[in-house]
Amino acid sequence: MGDSIWSIGKGHRLVVLSAGLILAMACAISQALGPQGEDLGTQPTAIEPSEQPGDPIEALVKATVQVLAMVREGDKWSPIWSGSGSVVTADGLILTNNHVVDRSVFEYDALGIALSSRPDQLPEVQYLAEVEATDPTMDLAIVRIVSDLNGQPVDLTLAYAVTGNSDEVQIGDRLRILGYPGIGGETITLTEGAVSGFTLERGVAGRAWIKTDATIAGGNSGGLGADAEGHLIGIPTIVTSGSESGQTVDCRPLADTDRDGDIDSQDNCVPVGGFINALRPINLALPLIEAASTGQQYSGSVPETQQPGGSGEISGPSFSRIVFSDGVTPDNQPTQLWYALPGTATYVCAFWEYRGMVDGEEWSAFWFIDGVLDEGSSISGQPWGGGEAGSWWVCQFNDVGLSPGVYEIVLQAESGVLESDSVYVGGDRVAAEFVLSNQSATPICGVYLSPKGATNWGQNELGPSEVLEPSKARPIPLATGEYDMRILDCELQTIHVEFEIAVEADLTYTFQQ
């Protein structure tokens, strides 16, 4: 076959990975809060970081609040969890994460808003707020301050954060993340880092996530992400199931470490850390802010209706037919499908088909690079919003070019890992044909070829119904490289395993049992 033949062809409809949102807010009950709130007195003016001289950190502190879900206990309010938020209008609109105010987690009586006027000052609950608008798919919400702690109306002129343009943020730009790590009396936390990349999702126009190398504790979820000039450009959102201190509390079976073809309790678990690693771009929150500011009803960011995946009874969710592309067309198709992506690629996108999903069900997409979990690009525990059946996709992006290696996607729903596959990126590779010749007496129903370094076997090259009968051969197109192979009989029992098969050109492999 000719050199540099990378294209697989077009026409598949595929699927998107959504981001996982673990409720890593403070879940311990702290001391009860008194019913009386102190008058804020003269309020600071709105933050105008592009016009004010000097460091904008103090102004950003005043625009960052703690949001507490509270229950009434006699004449006192007691918090049951907390998150963070950003004041976006002087009259008391606050942007936060939907999971911070979600009553489906646990019923609460009211939302409390706590503020600090200085970085060394403990936050003090001064106001009650109500949910004004929500977007569960984006995990965003707007709440409005409605009264003091006694239920009396308030006339507000709060400091607020001026929004920037998250589409202008570039890799390497500095970020400042502000928020409150818990409800145990801790002061506001400032974390600095850099933009490390971007993630794309189906149903989201433009950038879906801004990845960062900053280490951000879970309680900062919903807080303020600012650029170097002090403009609000993102909302810290994705946290991969951890504690307030960032200690690993979640270790999941995501890799087939014993190479038996099953991902289960017999495999070594993969630690999933406890830090927020991505921000929702502020541009995705602007329609929500606009709707809340003007009193309009917000319809939400609902992905386009998916086509049914066929009739028949569905026993549970399934993901299938993963393919890889170097981009996405405006109508949600792969720009080009590849057996291996070239070293010049800036996008790697996984597309797949799904059936049996239920909106609201948690799902995850984990990226591995050379066998190591890439938490910055992974999505964990995000509520599904794509309907029962159709196709989806997710991408990671680096405008200076992807690092070479084996890129692997592992798709998971509440029932466990549903599918995985991997692709080479970079390297001096060309297209090749691997021909499996079955010279045994056993029909073959499963053939798995995974690039060396992948953590899982990937997808069955024969699909769900094809059988490779004795004395028959089956060509399998791939890219040159080293592969591990696993062969199953039609009882789905492993009958052959071989590692590090070098495919340097077209190759015929004869299987004799």
What is the token pair recorded at 273? 């850390």
pLDDT of residue 27: 32
Q: What percent of the chain has pLDDT over 90?
A: 52
- The answer to whether 184 and 68 have CB atoms below 8 angstroms apart is no
Q: For residue range 224-244, list pLDDT tens digits in order.
A: 999 999 999 999 986 543 333
Q: 40 falls in which pLDDT band (50, 70, 90)?
A: very low
* Mean pLDDT, range 105-123, rounded to an integer: 87
In whole angstroms, what separates CA 211 from the centre of its chain?
A: 10
Q: 495 falls in which pLDDT band (50, 70, 90)?
A: very high
pTM score of the predicted model:
0.65
Alpha carbon separation from 277 to 240, 242, 250, 347 (Å, rounded): 8, 12, 16, 19
Q: For residue range 252-296, list pLDDT tens digits in order.
A: 666 777 677 777 767 666 655 555 578 999 999 999 999 999 888
- By mean pLDDT, which of 157-161, 241-245, 438-442, 450-454 is the weakest? 241-245
Where do the DSSP E strands lie in 248-346? 250-252, 270-272, 275-281, 318-325, 340-341
For residue 294, give the 3-state DSSP assignment.
Answer: helix
Over the range 488-501, which residues count as b (16 or more CB within 10 Å of their CB) and which as e?
bbeeeeeebeeeee
Q: For residue range 200-216, list pLDDT tens digits in order.
A: 877 787 888 898 888 77
- The answer to whether 111 and 65 have CB atoms below 8 angstroms apart is no
Dihedrals φ, ψ of 272, to 5°?
Answer: -115, 115
- The answer to whether 197 and 171 have CB atoms below 8 angstroms apart is yes
- The answer to whether 51 and 60 have CB atoms below 8 angstroms apart is no
What is the token pair recorded at 394? 């997710």
Please tell me the distance from the alpha carbon of residue 7 to that of residue 338, in angstroms, as a whole number: 5
pLDDT of residue 35: 34
Whether 185 shows a pLDDT value over 80: the answer reads no
Whole-number average pLDDT of the chain? 81
Please tell me the distance from the alpha carbon of residue 382 to that of residue 94, in angstroms, as a whole number: 22
Whether 161 shows a pLDDT value over 80: the answer reads yes
Secondary-structure percent of the chain, ordered helix, strand, coil, rounded to 5: 5, 45, 50
Please tell me the distance from the alpha carbon of residue 100 to that of residue 26, in angstroms, as a whole number: 10
Whether 142 shows a pLDDT value over 80: the answer reads yes
Report which of 161, 173, 224 is spatially closest to residue 198, judged by C-alpha positions. Answer: 173
pLDDT of residue 32: 34
pLDDT of residue 13: 29
Q: 416 falls in which pLDDT band (50, 70, 90)?
A: confident
Q: Looking at the DSSP assignment, which residues form a beta bridge with residue 503?
A: 481
Q: For residue range 68-96, list pLDDT tens digits in order.
A: 999 998 888 888 888 899 999 999 999 99
Domains of the chain as residue ranges with CATH:
318-425 (2.60.40), 431-511 (2.60.40.2890)
* Mean pLDDT, range 431-435, rounded to an integer: 97
Q: For residue range 356-399, list pLDDT tens digits in order.
A: 999 888 898 999 999 988 877 888 778 888 889 999 999 988 88
Q: Which residue has the tokens 């509440």?
A: 414
Dihedrals φ, ψ of 324, to 5°?
Answer: -120, 145
Q: What percent of the chain has pLDDT over 70?
A: 78
CB atoms within 10 A of CB 301: 17
DSSP result, 188-215: PEEEEEEEEEEEEETT-SS-SEEEEEEE
Whether 33 shows a pLDDT value over 50: the answer reads no
pLDDT of residue 300: 65
Position with higher pLDDT, 55 vs 166? 166
Q: What angle do CA 495, 314, 492 make, to 5 degrees?
A: 5
Please tell me the distance from the alpha carbon of residue 374 to that of residue 97, in angstroms, as a whole number: 23
Position with higher pLDDT, 400 vs 240? 400
* Mean pLDDT, range 469-484, rounded to an integer: 97
- The answer to whether 136 and 117 have CB atoms below 8 angstroms apart is no
Whether 184 shows a pLDDT value over 70: the answer reads no
Dihedrals φ, ψ of 96, to 5°?
Answer: -150, -170
- By mean pLDDT, which of 220-224, 402-406, 427-431 is the weakest? 220-224
